[in-house]
């Protein structure tokens, strides 16, 4: 299991941005979604999640709004801003480039 501290900071940002790209989610759901999608490999510590969310919001990649949760409670939903969408695209392609490069190195050296 990968500990969240092992995630490079940019990686957590990327995961968050990708997770909320489809639909606005609240913090808990973001953590759950990352865990599910990664087949429980990636555990996001809440202690890191919220600072990351606030930082991304501060940088205006994402925005937040209060809404009703599944169980009818007030929850803060995060969604991408337009700048955030562009940023996600460029970060995604960066990631692919990087990971395939690393893959090449691992395979061939």
* Residues lying near another protein in the complex (CB under 8 A): 26-28, 45-47, 50-55, 57-61, 69, 71, 73-76, 81, 83
Task: Give min distance, CB of 28 to another protein, in A.
Answer: 4
Compute the least distance from the CB of residue 27 to another protein, in Å: 5
DSSP 61: S
Nearer to another protein, 68 or 93 (CB): 68
DSSP bridge partners of 78? 25, 64
Question: Would you call 15 helix, strand, or coil by DSSP?
Answer: helix
Whichever of 18 and 35 has its CB closer to another protein, that residue is: 35
User: Taking the CB of residue 63, how many other CB atoms lie within 10 A of it?
Assistant: 15
SS3 (DSSP) at 59: coil
36: CB partners within 8 A, 6+ apart: none
Between 71 and 108, name the residue whose CB sits nearer to another protein.
Answer: 71
Minimum distance from residue 16 beta carbon to another protein (Å) = 12
């Amino acid at each position: 299991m990968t500990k969240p501290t092992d995630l490079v900071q940019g990686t957590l940002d990327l995961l968050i941005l990708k997770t909320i790209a489809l639909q606005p989610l609240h913090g808990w759901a973001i953590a759950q979604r990352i865990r599910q999608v990664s087949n429980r490999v990636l555990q996001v510590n809440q202690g890191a999640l919220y600072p990351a969310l606030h930082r991304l919001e501060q940088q205006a990649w994402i925005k937040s709004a209060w809404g009703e949760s599944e169980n009818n409670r007030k929850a803060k939903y995060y969604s991408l801003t337009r700048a955030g969408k562009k940023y996600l695209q460029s970060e995604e392609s960066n990631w692919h480039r990087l990971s395939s490069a690393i893959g090449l190195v691992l395979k061939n050296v």
